[in-house]
Amino acid sequence: MEKKPENIPAYQFKELLKYWNSDKHKKMSATNIENRKKLKDPYTASKKSFAIVRNDLEKEKETSDPLSLKDIFVATRQRKPGRTYKESNEDTTRKIAEMESIETQQSENSDESINAFASIMGPEHPGHLRLYGRRVTKTSLKGKVGHFEPSSNTTNDHMQKMEERMIRLEEKIEEQKEQYEEQKTMMRQEIVEDIITKLQRSGLPIDANILATLYSRPLGEASSTQAATIHLIHRPSLGSNNQGEENE
């Protein structure tokens, strides 16, 4: 009772001591201690969530480069200087050193694009996204402001796929334009031929220049079929003169 906090009543503190000294609590405590020892790279940012850590790092960074997973890992795993810890963090320190070594090599060779965090920690597990907090997935992050893909390779692949889709779309549009022009030309020819047929039946003479205009080509550039049609229509019929009167 000597170390009882002032804000806790004496009767409540007695019940708490009784609970701590119970066999049930001692067994649970021993189990938790063993489980704690199995944890790799324990979280050291206290009650700060990953979202708050990311926001703080965004404010503190001096460049416009997006935060890397390695930056988040270091910020949430580094230990406070001067504080004593029961467990060793040699494994975590080694991993951080290896990540920094990879980033240094990458900065020297700008052609390479390597995710230092994934290189050391391994690929993501299906349905899980590391260093974002519990229950966070890629799907839940889509469209979120400030979200960056965990790997620049993923972003590059996405951009490449988008470019390929745009190229295919442009090719399809050009193909549709060509088909439309062909259909328009065919429809125009059918209309002109229909007009010519009706004029033929009426026995009226047609000026060759008018026919060429209907075909949207100069007379000298008309196709052989069109030229033959123009010549046939331009020639007066045997049963009529140029004035449309019957010959005796």
Mean pLDDT over each residue of the chain, to the nearest integer: 75
Q: Do 57 and 138 belong to one domain?
A: yes
Q: End of a domain among 109, 124, 143?
A: 143
Q: End of a domain among 112, 143, 174?
A: 143
| Among 117, 106, 111, CA closest to 77 | 117
User: What pLDDT is stored for residue 28 in this prediction?
Assistant: 94
Q: Do 94 and 162 belong to one domain?
A: no
Q: Do 96 and 58 belong to one domain?
A: yes
Q: Do 56 and 134 belong to one domain?
A: yes
Across 113-121, average pLDDT: 84
Q: Do 194 and 115 belong to one domain?
A: no
Q: Do 159 and 133 belong to one domain?
A: no
- How many domains does the chain contain in total? 2
- Residue 73 scores a pLDDT above 80: yes
**Using an 8 Å Cβ cutoff, are 70 and 103 in contact?**
yes
Q: Do 181 and 112 belong to one domain?
A: no
Q: Residue 177: inside a domain, yes or no?
A: yes
Q: Residue 149: inside a domain, yes or no?
A: no
60: containing domain? 50-143
Which of the four pLDDT bands, split at 50, 70 and 90, describes residue 9? confident
User: What pLDDT is stored for residue 240 in this prediction?
Assistant: 44
User: What pLDDT is stored for residue 167 in this prediction?
Assistant: 81
The C-alpha angle 142, 143, 147, rounded to 5 degrees, equals 80
User: For 135-193, what is each residue's pLDDT tens digit?
Assistant: 777 777 765 544 544 444 555 566 677 777 888 888 888 888 888 888 888 887 888 77
User: What pLDDT is stored for residue 132 in this prediction?
Assistant: 84
Q: Do 158 and 194 belong to one domain?
A: yes
User: For 194-220, what is each residue's pLDDT tens digit?
Assistant: 877 887 788 777 666 666 666 554 444
